[in-house]
A = this chain, B = another copy of it.
């Protein structure tokens, strides 16, 4: 049911990860070789909220959905993680459980390191820690900003921002407009924007009538990004 493989590392195609760009080719190779490769199809869990944090992962291709659940089962999407991005580092450097769940939303190729190895890498390359730090700080900034948005903006604005963010992350030009290349249900959009499936559906239906977007099943094409930007910016 969950086809997956974990193999000795083969570094092909991993060379463009931003977090390693400042290493020499040899160093980078060494770092990459110290990990293990993991290739998964859509719907697989890389790690689950509440489990002890054993590994962190670098995504080579595909997308991960990072979610958080509360006691009542309500799910929130914290972010998507795509090619060249690291995840799980949060948890690995502490003896804590993962605070979030990482799930593939499409076929995904990644490399993982266990806690011990990761700490070794950091000790060997102190600048690595600074790099990771800035990465985490970016993430903190983004969550803080989304927190502010959630406090101060109406649903429609937040959904607009959600589409714009996802567009920037996974947008691809097509004849119609910019296609968000992630399987994206109304529920997911709602979980990302902090609203309900129904409100998200209503809002997108409206935009489709305005011809700002085109959408199919789990599929969104942004036809008029400018309109969404206006919506997001202008209170």
Residues of chain A whose beta carbon lies under 8 Å from any beta carbon of chain B: 68, 70-72, 74, 76, 78, 90-91, 93-94, 99-100, 122-123, 126, 129-130, 132-134, 136-137, 139-141, 143-153, 194, 233, 235
Contacts of A133 in B (CB 8 A): 93, 129, 132-133, 136
Give the interface centre of A90, A123, A144 by most chain B CB atoms within 10 Å: A144
- Given A129-B130, A147-B146, verify A76-B152 contact (CB < 8 Å): yes
Q: Which of B72, B100, B140, B151 is A136 in contact with, Cβ under 8 Å?
A: B140
Pairwise interchain contact A150-B152, C-beta atoms closer than 8 A: no
Pairwise interchain contact B94-A147, C-beta atoms closer than 8 A: no
Indicate how many identical chains form the complex: 2
- Given A139-B140, A140-B139, verify A68-B129 contact (CB < 8 Å): no
Pairwise interchain contact A136-B134, C-beta atoms closer than 8 A: no
Give the interface centre of A122, A137, A150 by most chain B CB atoms within 10 Å: A137
Pairwise interchain contact A144-B144, C-beta atoms closer than 8 A: no
Pairwise interchain contact A147-B71, C-beta atoms closer than 8 A: no
A153–B70 Cα distance when bound, in Å, is: 10
